[in-house]
Structure 1
């Protein structure tokens, strides 16, 4: 067993999946001869025949079937171990790249970066500004950020997340709106107001969450104009062309005049989360989540 090499096992597993030496070579970007040599080395190391070669490809022997059934788990275990080792190394020295929208994270981003660097020797935290969710998603999936701060739902089931803050939902209305002087409003009172929508949300499901569609009574939310950016939403609101729902911290983006933010007392809250991909260093992500929750005072439910 000491003579088994992981690359030989990977080649055999590819052959078992493809039922072809040539097909396995294409998947692994190796020649057929190289794959065949790997399998022969593995057979000699184990002292058993693993394959029966035929004119139509290969068949697995009983021993080959057994190795195929257990070998994948071995390779997965090794891959996970390698990832954990890399994460530990990253946690001791390296860089953690965080994508964040300033409006969502300005209350804690700088303190967070300082706290992480102070607690992890050799770590450098870089903050990458993103204007909207699509920017953040592109930074993550493109490998230019290790983690991001995004309001849920994210709209991408392949991403991991952990909630670090809960924000009330507010509505931005024109100062000329009939409800502009109210201390709070309900969704029923906004039933006929068209909702302005920024063209930055990742999916129709995400958009429906932001505009509260459907409403509690089952009615559809009235659609207002679609605009390029969040800032454009506020300009449309200021001109009385609709309202806009958003997490209350986005109030800091409002222009000085023309717009009023009002809490919506019966609307679901927004949850801000740390979001990351499978490539992110898990040890650092775990530390990141703990530090953010300390700064925001968020206690997971």
Structure 2
């Protein structure tokens, strides 16, 4: 006879099969196909695609620009999202629920609608651009640039950061804050010596998710700056569906390097956390 634990495991696997099938069909299989295509050329299997990317200042520059934009917007997201989440935690439950709903909508408001909104507000003839120029606070600003991408990305990164950080604040209980205040710790000392160390693993994970979110953004960048910004996702899009120059095998190689650049920090983070837990 099959014991209860074995039956439970079988039922668990059966219940998970639809999800595992979706993961296999829409994540693992496409990734394997991209990996296989990345080592092909028009005539044979080769690593020439990777060689071309790693020796090209143009493609390496696209990774550099993407890294800088992603790091900057991830830091901006956490720098604003963390204090906002701390303030939100002290508000009534209904206010929290309303802000979380709005943040959820804003974090997913990307692509062409977001780019169009920023063009209306901060374009050459945008409403905020004209207003700031009239009062003398803005002289020369171009939304169709790398700095424009940073502003547009920061919009959804901040709201995404609030969603990521808010649940982790449950680790800082009222008892911990009261104990710190009883021994004379100021607000700044509490967060510097107690709060931030407690939240450090969550903040590191949130930073990596924000970094990956910005690295993988394509529609917003393309709608806002087109091909003028040298970021990886735009280069992949041009190589995949370009009218002048198309090389899907090279695009797949770029995509695989992008995947590696996203997975590697996560692996390093997990190794760091395991080492830290072992030291404890």
Same fold (TM over 0.5): no
> TM-score, normalised to structure 1's length?
0.21
**More strand by percentage:** 1
- The answer to which structure, 1 or 2, has the higher relative contact order (CA under 8 A, 6+ apart) is 2
> TM-score, normalised to structure 2's length?
0.22
**More helix by percentage:** 2
Pair member with larger Rg: 1
